[in-house]
């Protein structure tokens, strides 16, 4: 008589492991080296343990759903090949979640199409996930009648957003850029995707931006302080001045994050758009990732901090002793705005340091 050890173990677990319908997974097994037949297996509750750290690419934005609760329920079963019988060698019956919650297990969970339509409508109206789950539960006559958990709801909304981004927003953005390029071949755009083909960073520059940069791009200010939309993704712009001292834009980007890798991609893309011409001077904020990326891509560009950030740093460290004559911001403004000659600046700076006895702090 032959046994299907996997089926026998599964039947035993479902019969004696609690209310029928508990989901299981195989944790380990062993086989006969000669016959390749299964000789033992260990079945555990689907909620046993906790998932380890995701070691996939750091750019990945499709994390697996977390469903485990350290449940200890398990079944060890072994085949005695001599007498062709199965033996249970270890059995832990108790789960760490209630049997009446079997609807919460993967084998029982399912967001129906009618439910998904209602979820989409309510969530798109601005209702947060917790309130949405509470509302769906009340309409169904209780959470147990929903057929899914809060985690399932979050996973569904995340998957929906990822699908929308991959096939909707990203496709729409790409089509818009392609249409712009058809109208004017000088329009430049670039999209960066992660290893799972999800959109990360976006850069664009129209014909006027590229033309202006060719004439006035020796000095560029790069600003990442603009934050837009609920995802708080930074909108970055490359800015300069024309011969009328009017602000002009050389390029713009919508970034996923402010890491060194993202800035390297952005600076390299900016140079490609501008035919390889790097600015002589670039003003930025005090972002460490940006400061690390810039010399790697533009080694001959002088990196300087913008006036606003310098003032903030000065207020933080020098306001305690530069208190008269309008305060530290007034004093430093005179240096920045009224003195253009380098020797004159150094002489005036030394005099100011001596006047306030700050030479030991410089």
- Secondary structure (DSSP) of 265-315: HHHHHHHHHTTTPPPSEEEE-S-HHHHHHHHHH-TTSEEEE-HHHHHHHHH
Average pLDDT on 131-149 reads 80
pLDDT tens digits for 37-64?
777 888 777 767 666 655 444 444 445 5
pTM score, whole prediction: 0.48
Which span out of 29-33, 46-50, 204-208, 334-338 was modeled with the highest average pLDDT?
A: 204-208
pLDDT band for 102, please (50, 70, 90 cuts): very low
* 232-241 contacts, C-beta under 8 A, 24 or more apart: 234/258, 236/266, 238/213, 238/270, 240/212, 240/213, 240/216, 241/216
Residue 149 near residue 102 (C-beta atoms within 8 A): no
pLDDT tens digits for 290-311?
899 999 999 999 998 877 767 7
Average pLDDT on 246-251 reads 94
DSSP H or E stretch at residue 176? helix 170-183
């Amino acid at each position: 008589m032959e046994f299907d050890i996997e089926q026998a173990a599964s039947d035993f677990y479902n019969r004696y492991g609690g209310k029928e319908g508990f989901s299981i997974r195989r944790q380990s097994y062993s086989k006969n080296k000669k016959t390749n037949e299964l000789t033992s297996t260990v079945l555990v509750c689907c909620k046993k343990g906790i998932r380890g750290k995701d070691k996939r690419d750091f750019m990945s934005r499709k994390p697996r759903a977390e469903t485990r609760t350290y449940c200890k329920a398990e079944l060890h079963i072994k085949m005695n090949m001599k007498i062709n019988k199965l033996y249970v060698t270890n059995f832990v019956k108790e789960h760490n979640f209630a049997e009446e919650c079997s609807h919460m297990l993967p084998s029982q969970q399912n967001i129906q199409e009618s439910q998904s339509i209602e979820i989409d409508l309510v969530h798109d109206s601005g209702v947060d996930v917790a309130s949405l789950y509470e509302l769906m539960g009340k309409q169904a006559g209780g959470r147990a009648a929903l057929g899914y958990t809060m985690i399932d709801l979050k996973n569904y909304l995340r998957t929906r957003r990822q699908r929308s981004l991959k096939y909707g927003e990203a496709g729409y953005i790409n089509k818009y850029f392609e249409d712009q390029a058809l109208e004017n071949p000088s329009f430049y755009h670039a999209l960066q995707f992660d290893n799972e083909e999800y959109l990360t960073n976006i850069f664009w520059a129209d014909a006027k931006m590229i033309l202006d940069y060719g004439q006035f791009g020796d000095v560029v200010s790069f600003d990442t302080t603009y934050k837009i939309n609920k995802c708080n993704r930074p909108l970055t712009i490359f800015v300069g001045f024309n011969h009328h001292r009017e602000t002009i834009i050389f390029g713009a980007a919508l970034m996923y994050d402010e890491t060194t890798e993202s800035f390297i991609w952005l600076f390299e893309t900016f140079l490609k758009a501008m035919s390889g011409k790097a600015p002589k001077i670039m003003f930025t904020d005090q972002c460490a990732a940006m400061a690390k990326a810039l010399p790697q891509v533009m080694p001959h560009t002088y990196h300087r901090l913008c006036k606003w950030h310098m003032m903030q740093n000065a207020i933080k460290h020098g306001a305690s002793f530069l208190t008269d004559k309008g305060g530290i911001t007034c004093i430093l403004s005179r240096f920045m705005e009224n003195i253009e000659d380098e020797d004159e600046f150094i002489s005036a700076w030394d005099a100011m340091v001596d006047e306030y006895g700050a030479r030991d702090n410089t």
